Amino acid sequence: MELTQICDLAVIGGGPAGMAAALEAYQSGVEKIVIIERDKELGGILNQCIHNGFGLHYFKEELTGPEYAQRFSDQIPGTTIQAMTDTMVLDISPDKTIHLVNTKNGYQQLKAKAIVLAMGCRERTRGAIGIPGERPSGVFTAGTAQRYLNMEGYLVGKRAVILGSGDIGLIMARRLSLEGAKVLACVELMPYSNGLNRNVVQCLNDFEIPLYLSHTITRITGTPRVESVTISKVDEKRNPIPGTEITFQCDTVLLSVGLIPENELSKTAGIALDPRTRGPVVFENMETSVEGIFACGNTVHVHDLVDFVTAESQRAGRYTAAYIQGQSPSPNAFLPVTAGSMVNYTVPQKIHLPASAPVEIFFRVAMPMKDKKIVVTASGTGEKLMEFKRLHLAPGEMEHITIPTSALEKVPDGIEIAIV
Amino acid sequence: MYDAIIIGAGVVGCSVAAYLSRYEMNLAVLERENDVAMGSTRANSAIVHAGYDPLPGTLMAKYNVRGSMLYPQLCKKLSVPYQQIGSLVLAFSPQEDQVVRDLYDRGVKNGVPGLQILTKEQALAKEPNLSEQITSALYAPTGAIVSPWEFAIAMAENANQNGTAFFFDHPVTGIEKIEGGYRITAGGDTFESRIVINAAGTHADQVNDMVAPHTFSILPNKGQYYVLDKNQSDVVHSVIFQCPSKVGKGVLVSPTVHGNLIVGPDAVDVASPDDCSTDREGLQFVVNQAMRSTSKFQLREAIRNFAGVRAHSDQDDFIIGPVEGFPGFFNLAGIKSPGLTSAPAIGEDMIRILKENGFSFSPKDQVVETRDVVVFHNLDHQQRAEMVKKNPLYGRVICRCETITEGEIVDALHRPLPPHTIDGIKRRCGCGLGRCQGGFCGPRVQEIIARELGIPYMAVEKDKTGSYIILAETKQGGVK
């Protein structure tokens, strides 16, 4: 028969989110904690992010991805946290039974009092954005190319065009250049970059790589390997404009066209997902729609900086500990938080009542803007509760505001966050 | 000298090889690409048609209906994903209601079992997501979906286990009539055979013309498709066709055996028999047409688009049989839709065709008829636990989207006709078929292929010969 184990807390995913949540729950008094990680070591995608720039907020110093991860993984041996690596979770039932498999112990069930979901995200692919053309080798998502270079030690190409100016794409433009490859162009569909400004400067400008805004790849050519790509300018509706084609002779195409929270396991547990974030709908304590299952990090919404993943996951860890210790708010009384004008989504989407502490709300804006206000209003009445000035807002950067408990007391229908 | 050489390892060539390998024959298959199922077989609608579409009396009608009957048993014996989910042909006007009635009559004449004409209400009760604009529908309970490449691979493995030799990367460049047979030049080697069977798909006219007079032309016709995420597989539960027209069976919407939704194809004549490129206009056309049947699918859930080339010819029917004046040379050409469905029936009939033309062979005493494949995600909890106990590699999940284990990949690399490419593994195990399209599992599959086959990591290709993934080591060098 199958072996069934029991634990207080099971954390799915051993990246920065999972490690921070587990460590924080441990600090808060939870003893029997298991982290389940599919890779052979903890750290998640940070292990392949060998560039610097991590930790400026959290550690007040500049670290590489593996160094940032190690700050957390080094703490685990001194705790009662058990890290099950090289182990895959196959499904989670709503009663918090986890089905998992590995080569050492085979097929197992793990029954947990609480679960933290920290599976991270995946990359959008060529298929998801439907780039037409032939089907040669040499087309990679930026993260896959990053793994080949930084983990396996292989160069995926010598002349590359990068589609998308998200952070991974920008980082890979620099990485390929440092390895002696020629990056011919970075092509962005939108009229602005989706990456952090510092990455545009350090990864493109410093290497004289041209950034083609309002352009997209309209054809990939080559058999059996990429031989060229054609890009076109796009109109306001993002449709290619005939006659604007530019063709680059290249052997490689990298795609940095968005990240999607990984939530296949969340679906098996019956957790409600937000179609905008594509992650679970969460309360301010990071609890999902299924009682006792919490979520944090990029599985909830895609973050810009790992420092913020850490902070969110620590919060999830603390609240999960409280749940295990029997101090949990009732799921029935809550305020909905809605995204208003120019706001793409909010996390959390719900706030438990009565609010016991100030609530931090995270969101992304729909387009770059200058000299605007973030306005919090009462849903229904439209009464303005608070406003926050911002000189600069951009979709590439996650925004956040803190709402004091006093502001949440007189808004029976919830609150709305908008940019005006 | 071989008794028979089959040119082309697509679904037709492999089916013929599987059936002929049950007889005392010295058999070989010559394939220009590096694996089985590299042409039309891997890029089509993946439908086993019921058989109401071809005109009665044609070879297409005969082989379609017989093929449709052969599939369930063959797929069961050879562990190939196949589901008889039924199909509907939708009508949207009084004219099309008449087409549906004509198809019904044709199907009855062709011997298709269980056909029914449904009213709009009956069709909507069966498939609630269909358009309100439909006026009637033809229901065929024997319409089915299959994994076409896995079917061809299974037939090829079976043929190989029963003694058929396969030569990959052997494009045929010359055929010469010699005493008692033919001499074939392919991939730098020469082969001699009493019988030559031309199953070269979109290149069948070129192969024919190497030795025989030009009697037909292949007119390659391209179709483009979208594949959508598994979260769209509930949109319809059977194969949804529109009324056929001169250019094909129209755009369909259907679940796939891998749990996705497929939408397509269009039909456009192309100059090259190898033109598998997609384009914006074609893909847009496919979506617009499919939206007539149901508007309930979400294009933003697309995970892939692809194109396949149909081996249309300048003849109306399949071209099957001996070539006059060239004893022992047989064409299986112009195998357009319903070619996938017809393939096993053509394979089964080949021994009769040979006999009628003076080539008789006796059946072997013993043949392999089955093929076992472990599919971890199809097992229940108990079976999974037992499998991992037996072989711990079934405990390591490599492809997380499709839940494919290292054990299954290693199995595929040690079966008959092992693949040596990432896409070869994809076609056999399913890793990379899912929503991440191999982004996560690609490097790990590459590592397993290199390790199991004892080849350098950098030498592993993605797909066709020369489709290298890695072009150099980094300055610090790769993992040794």
Q: Verify that B86 and B184 share a domain, yes or no.
A: no
Is the pLDDT confidence value at A1 over 50?
Answer: no
What's the pLDDT tens digit per position in A117-137? 999 999 999 999 999 999 999
Helix H or strand E encompassing B120:
helix B120-126
In a domain, B191, yes or no: yes
- What's the gap in Å between the CA of A329 and the closest CA on chain B? 33
ipTM over 0.90: yes
Q: Verify that B354 and B397 share a domain, yes or no.
A: no
Residue of B nearest to A137 (CA): B467
pLDDT at A2: 52
Q: Verify that B244 and B354 share a domain, yes or no.
A: no
Q: Which of A148, A151, A234 to mutate to test the interface with B (most CBs of B within 10 A)?
A: A148
In a domain, B480, yes or no: no
What's the pLDDT tens digit per position in A269-324? 999 999 999 999 999 999 999 999 999 999 999 999 999 999 999 999 999 999 99
Domain that holds residue B396: 376-459
Q: Verify that B139 and B67 share a domain, yes or no.
A: no
What's the pLDDT tens digit per position in A319-345? 999 999 999 888 888 999 999 999 999
Helix H or strand E encompassing A420:
none
Question: What is the SS3 assignment for B173?
Answer: strand
Q: How many domains does chain B have?
A: 3
Closest CA to B254 of B230, B274, B238: B238
- Mean pLDDT for A384-390 is 95
Structure tokens at A226: 């990429």
- Across the interface, do A224 and B470 touch by the CB < 8 Å criterion? no
Domain stop point among B372, B404, B421: B372
Q: How far apart are CA B87 and CA B259, in angstroms?
A: 17
Is the Cβ of B58 closer than 8 Å to some Cβ of chain A?
no
Q: How far apart are CA B50 and CA B241, in angstroms?
A: 12
Q: Verify that B228 and B359 share a domain, yes or no.
A: no
In a domain, B30, yes or no: yes
- Across the interface, do B276 and A86 touch by the CB < 8 Å criterion? no
Give the pairing type, strands A334-339 and A415-419.
parallel
Is the Cβ of B467 closer than 8 Å to some Cβ of chain A?
yes
Structure tokens at B39: 């042409």
In a domain, B475, yes or no: no
What's the pLDDT tens digit per position in B291-330? 999 999 999 999 999 999 999 999 999 999 999 999 999 9
Q: Verify that B323 and B403 share a domain, yes or no.
A: no
- Across the interface, do A133 and B468 touch by the CB < 8 Å criterion? no
Determine contact, residues B239/B252, Cβ cutoff 8 Å.
yes
Within 8 A of A219 by CB-CB distance, chain B residues are 277, 279
What's the pLDDT tens digit per position in A172-186? 999 999 999 999 999
Q: What is the CATH number of the domain that holds B273?
A: 3.30.9.10
Inter-CA distances, A226 with B173, B207, B264, Å: 27, 29, 26
- Name the percent of chain A lying above pLDDT 90: 91
In a domain, B470, yes or no: no
Determine contact, residues A318/A251, Cβ cutoff 8 Å.
no
Q: Verify that B44 and B100 share a domain, yes or no.
A: no
Q: Look at chain A and count its residues.
A: 420
Q: Which residues of B are catalytic?
A: 49
pLDDT at B245: 78
Domain stop point among B356, B372, B388: B372
Amino acid at B149: W
Question: What is the SS3 assignment for B178?
Answer: strand
Q: Verify that B106 and B159 share a domain, yes or no.
A: no
Catalogue the long-range contacts made by B72-78 (C-beta closer than 8 Å, 24 or more residues apart). Answer: B72/B144, B74/B151, B74/B155, B74/B344, B75/B146, B75/B151, B75/B154, B77/B369, B77/B370, B77/B371, B78/B151, B78/B154, B78/B155, B78/B158, B78/B370, B78/B371
Domain stop point among B309, B332, B349: B309
Q: Verify that B74 and B181 share a domain, yes or no.
A: yes
In a domain, B465, yes or no: no
For chain A, list the domains and their CATH numbers. 1-122+258-328 (3.50.50.60), 125-257 (3.50.50.60), 332-420 (2.60.40)
pLDDT at B381: 87
Q: Which of B420, B436, B479 to mutate to test the interface with A (most CBs of A within 10 A)?
A: B436
Q: How far apart are CA B182 and CA B196, in angstroms?
A: 7
Q: What is the CATH number of the domain that holds B198?
A: 3.50.50.60
- What's the gap in Å between the CA of A356 and the closest CA on chain B? 38
Q: What is the CATH number of the domain that holds B447?
A: 1.10.10
Closest CA to B30 of B181, B153, B197, B180: B197
Q: Verify that B138 and B91 share a domain, yes or no.
A: yes
Strands (E), A262-314: 293-295
Q: DSSP string of A45-85?
A: GGGG--SEEESTTTTSS-EEHHHHHHHHHTTGGGSSEEEE-
Determine contact, residues B13/B27, Cβ cutoff 8 Å.
no
In a domain, B472, yes or no: no
Structure tokens at B51: 């058989």
Structure tokens at B92: 């949207």
Q: Which of B227, B286, B397 to mutate to test the interface with A (most CBs of A within 10 A)?
A: B397
Amino acid at A34: V
In a domain, B445, yes or no: yes
Is the Cβ of A154 closer than 8 Å to some Cβ of chain B?
yes
Q: Verify that B178 and B305 share a domain, yes or no.
A: no
Q: How far apart are CA B140 and CA B103, in angstroms?
A: 11
Q: Verify that B67 and B169 share a domain, yes or no.
A: yes
- Counting as low any pLDDT under 50, the low residues of chain B are none
Determine contact, residues A110/A117, Cβ cutoff 8 Å.
no
Check the CA dihedral B247-B249-B253-B255 and report its sign.
Answer: negative
Q: Which of A126, A154, A180 sits opposite B470 (nearest CB)?
A: A154
pLDDT at A196: 85
- Mean pLDDT for A344-355 is 95
Within 8 A of A102 by CB-CB distance, chain B residues are 395-396
Q: Which of B303, B469, B470 sits opposite A127 (nearest CB)?
A: B303
